Amino acid sequence: MTRTAGNRRSDHEAAHRPLPLTAGGHDVGRYGWDAPAPPQAVVRPVAHPLRAPGGALLTGTHPADHPWHSGLGLALPDVNGVNLWGGPTYVRDHGYRPGELGTVREAAPARQDGDTLGHDLLWCDGSGRELLHETRRIRVGAGPGGAWSLEWSSELTTAGDRAVALGSPGSNGRTGAGYGGFFWRLPPLPADRVTVFTARQAGEEAVNGSRADWLALAVDDGAASWTAVLAGTDPRTRQDPWFVRVAEYAGIGSALAWSAPVRLEPGRRLPITLRLVVADGVRDRAGAEALLAR
């Protein structure tokens, strides 16, 4: 039976005890299942809340504009036509329409070993049929001046002996909206206090859809100011364009299928690996590069 936004519920809507994320002995956030969640959301494990060294909130969850957005993690809007992101599905020549929402289940419970967290997941269609297997690793570490880093590693493989197509609204015809893959929903932020930039470009319009070794986001909010830098850490992820929203809402992603679907063959492994570095204060380009270098 196909599940839609009106009747789909994840097997994991029951609360799961979140796991702490610590850097240098300091609590920087939590990781766990995004439950309970609104009916349109695909419940999945995310990092939320996350906080800057000075305590500023870095992540948002279930905002009114996109109730299926939550925290920092992996979200896939089109897996063989199944929506594993949440909300409506973008259909070529028709726009957003209600569609089949999938579910995410555990293959093995989340586990911690020192500063590294592991989680094995199953991405399934609305009937529970497995589409993808994911092996996930998250490592948190401390840096100079109170900065901290989070290394996210997801490895996707097909669940069966057939290829799987990974798509996005962009690959289905919506220009500039190729989101899907790694995605970070930020809390409500005044657009005029947010600056997004790479080594060569600045501003939402210029950075959205661009390819760059790193992307920085600086929030100028007085004593609560902070800067975050994101960078892909494997050759495949480094080729993904950046997805950026600032004016409509604050969100950043590493777009897996920006303008064309990605075909994952059986036996092949698809990595999505990034490093996030967060520090207090507003940094310029040189400061952002220095954070990554450390």
DSSP 240-261: SPEEEESSS--EEEEETTSSS-
Flag whether 8 is in a domain. no
Q: What is the mean pLDDT of residues 253-278?
A: 97
Q: What is the mean pLDDT of residues 41-51?
A: 97
Q: What is the mean pLDDT of residues 204-209?
A: 98
Flag whether 5 is in a domain. no
| pLDDT for position 216 | 98
Predicted TM-score (pTM) of the model is: 0.93
Range of the domain at 133: 19-293
Flag whether 180 is in a domain. yes
Sequence letter at residue 226: W
pLDDT of residue 265 exceeding 70, the answer is yes
d(CA 148, CA 56): 13
pLDDT of residue 69 exceeding 50, the answer is yes
Comparing 10-24, 73-87, 180-194, 217-231, the range with the smallest average pLDDT is 10-24
Give the total number of structural domains in the chain: 1
DSSP state at residue 196:
E
pLDDT of residue 67 exceeding 60, the answer is yes
Segment 100-135, tens digit of pLDDT? 999 999 999 999 998 999 999 999 999 999 999 999
| pLDDT for position 14 | 40
Flag whether 7 is in a domain. no
Q: Nearest-CA neighbor of 196 among 244, 124, 157? A: 244
Domain CATH number, residue 214: 2.70.98
Q: How many helices (H) and strands (E) does the chain have?
A: 3, 20
3-state secondary structure of 80: coil
Q: What is the mean pLDDT of the chain?
A: 94
Angle at 110 between CA 280 and CA 100, to 5 degrees: 95
Cβ-based burial of 109 (10 A; exposed 0-12, middle 13-18, buried ≥19): exposed
The answer to whether 60 and 234 are in contact (CB under 8 A) is: no
d(CA 47, CA 110): 12
| Percent above pLDDT 70 for the chain | 95
pLDDT of residue 2 exceeding 70, the answer is no
Q: Nearest-CA neighbor of 198 among 229, 237, 177? A: 229
Flag whether 9 is in a domain. no
Flag whether 217 is in a domain. yes
d(CA 276, CA 292): 9
Q: Nearest-CA neighbor of 215 among 246, 191, 188, 173? A: 246
Flag whether 1 is in a domain. no
Flag whether 14 is in a domain. no
